[in-house]
Structure 1
Amino acid sequence: MSTAIVAAAAEQPAYRRWLPVAIMWLALITVPAWFPLMGGYTALAANVLVFGLAAMGLNILLGFTGVLSFGHAAYFGLGAYGTGLMLKYVAPSTPLAMLAGILLGGLGGTLFGLLIVRRRGVYFAMCTIAFGQIFYYIAYKWNDFTGGFDGLRGFHREPIGLGALSFDITDGTRFYYFTVVVFTLAVALMSFLLRSPFGRTLRAIRENERRARFLGIPVERHIWLSFSISCFFTALAGTLYALLNNFADPLALHYSLSGFFVIMAVLGGMRSFWGPLLGAVVFVVLRDFLSSALPTEWMAFLGAIFMLSVLFFPRGMLGMLKRRGVE
């Protein structure tokens, strides 16, 4: 059966593969024109891209390496706080602030990954939660530096200078297009990595770690690299989150947000490249709508939707669509 599916997929016309992606990019570029007509707003679309990038970063570890982390909000939050602290206390420069956030979150994940790379399953997941909660409580208690429970305020995104030119991202629509550009560059790099021999090695570890080890693959090193790379991408999403809201709060470090990232990846299809983005679209838009219509019950409805999706579409929405398209 699987051989027949692969053969059928190979016989598909080329346009069947690139047309959905082209439609997706066209929709992203034209969001400010059509999304408000459907009751949305540009900041919500930017939120979709931010959380979609974070979920896709996590999916390098979860979907392509087969290792579950419930602590990726730590690197998302470190990226947000690194950006905000740089803008507030050091230099009013958006590129420098983003670089600071990416390095803080990415290097934090890289160093922590060295400590837990030999753990597997629930032990690995619990260690990631514990590490994330450490940073959550630091941000929560350090009122003078991080703003404590009220969050880090008093900073805002600055225009980006390009020599004699300047790109003003203080406007919401312009910042959305800036987010689209950053998202595009990030997913292009992500795609390159996952299509490389390194990415194929990660898939081999996911499918059968013992066999990969027998083939001479340094499994721990590849899992550590996968963890580190996913943390850098998640930290990048955190920098965009801080710039979008001109705010960073301790909840961006909380393990509940890590759970949301996992839900997005599973909901959309964690074994497909674009699945987490589709999951982010559904999750973020539904959360915004339900939290407005049902302020106290929205999480119950969202949980029910996720449960039904896992029960009836175990491959995620994108996996289900691809399977039907092939068959």
Structure 2
Amino acid sequence: MRTELSLLAAAVVIAVGGFVAPDWLSFLLTLAFAKALVVLGVVVQMRMGLVTFGQALFYALGGYAAGMAMQHLGVRDAFVLLGIGVVVSAGFAAICGLLLARYRDIFFAMLTMALSMVLFGVLVKSSALGSTDGFNVSLPTYLGWEPSPESAKGVIFLLTVAVSAVAAIAFHRLLKSGLGLIAEAVRENEVRVEYLGISPRSAIYANYIFAAGISALGGGLTALATGHIDPDMAVWTTSGEFVFIAILGGTGHVAAPFVAAIVFAAVRTFAIQESPHTWQLTLGAVLLILIIFLPKGLWSLVSKRRKQTTETPVSNTAKVNA
């Protein structure tokens, strides 16, 4: 409960800060939070000992499903569009998961990347979906209310913060649930899990579908925020970016992906601004330094601080007793 209240408080502070922050900062945070949702899907699988290089598959499915529903079905409500993206992605994951749940290690990673690249190839070759250029997405409505063009970006920012808060709380509860505890047990020893009468494949299958749904939310929010969708959402380098952010933040807390996504977006924006021709080198160097000195991720700084705070009163009590 304490963690959930902290997440809600942080969401309120960020939402209020969005009203006074410059537009570029609100937009940066919107995209960072949307990508953090996809990273949550990556972390779900990392906690089971599985690394996916194809999470961009569901990121793209969420975005394209929302965009196509708006363009071809005339659906404009943001909540319905996001829901369509989640349903499409979860349904696709339910089919693919039947195969992927059988594999582990590098085989799982390569198969997920292969599925993502299949979608990338289909999108690139499909002229009806704009081929390599993609297509634009109009501004959505919200339960019948249509904001003005000037306030549309701010509304999407608030929507992204709200969805991120709900998703973070759901993710936290998942980790504390039986399925979340089984996931860690599967990572440590699948054989012992089977001796308990629990199927590791079923646990992996369920987590894979959850990861797909939460990643689709990130793709749908990105499409609504940028107003554009293109096949690069499904390319393998996008999946690699999500894995990189997951490693950068660590898996120790539900807030870690959001902190890492913000740091990643800020560093990349600064690198592009200061060295537009060598920004990849600057970005890589900075992030490499962070990973070398913080191998357990950025959240390890918070964990270490909490550990020191907890140990200090214990040490003082021991000295008094002595």
TM-score where L is the length of structure 2: 0.88
Determine whether 1:220 maps to 2:166.
Answer: no
Distance 1:189 1:235, change over 3 A: same
Find the aligned partners of 1:109 and 1:152 in 2 and give their Cα distance: 24
Among 16, 22, 30, which residue is 2:16 paired with?
30
1:95-134 alignment, distance < 5 Å: 95-134=79-118
Distance 1:312 1:19, change over 3 A: farther
Deviation at 1:183, TM superposition (A): 1.6
Residue-by-residue CA offset, 1:273-313 (whole Å, 9 max, x unaligned): 21111110111111122122222312222222232223221
Find the aligned partners of 2:250 and 2:231 in 1 and give their Cα distance: 28
2:312 alignment counterpart: none
Find the aligned partners of 2:304 and 2:193 in 1 and give their Cα distance: 27
Report if aligned partners of 1:264, 1:277 keep a CA contact under 8 Å in 2. Answer: no
Find the aligned partners of 1:177 and 1:301 in 2 and give their Cα distance: 31
Distance 1:207 1:27, change over 3 A: farther
Report if aligned partners of 1:31, 1:45 keep a CA contact under 8 Å in 2. Answer: no
Distance 1:218 1:193, change over 3 A: same
Structure 1 residue ranges without an equivalent (≥5):
1-13
Instruction: Say which is worse superposed, 132-141 or 174-183, in terms of deviation.
Output: 174-183
Deviation at 1:260, TM superposition (A): 0.8
Report if aligned partners of 2:141, 2:147 keep a CA contact under 8 Å in 1. Answer: yes
2:147 alignment counterpart: 168
Among 269, 272, 277, which residue is 2:253 paired with?
272
1:52-131 alignment, distance < 5 Å: 52-62=36-46, 64-94=47-77, 95-131=79-115
Determine whether 1:242 maps to 2:223.
Answer: yes
Among 155, 158, 182, which residue is 2:140 paired with?
158
Find the aligned partners of 2:105 and 2:257 in 1 and give their Cα distance: 21
Q: Identity percentage over the alignment?
A: 25
Find the aligned partners of 1:33 and 1:176 in 2 and give their Cα distance: 10
Find the aligned partners of 1:113 and 1:92 in 2 and give their Cα distance: 29
Find the aligned partners of 2:148 and 2:280 in 1 and give their Cα distance: 33
1:5 alignment counterpart: none
Find the aligned partners of 2:244 and 2:20 in 1 and give their Cα distance: 27
Structure 2 residue ranges without an equivalent (≥5):
309-322
Deviation at 1:106, TM superposition (A): 2.1
Deviation at 1:43, TM superposition (A): 1.1
Find the aligned partners of 1:325 and 1:34 in 2 and give their Cα distance: 31
Q: Which aligned segments of 4 or more residues in structure 1 are displaced greater than 4 angstroms?
A: 17-23
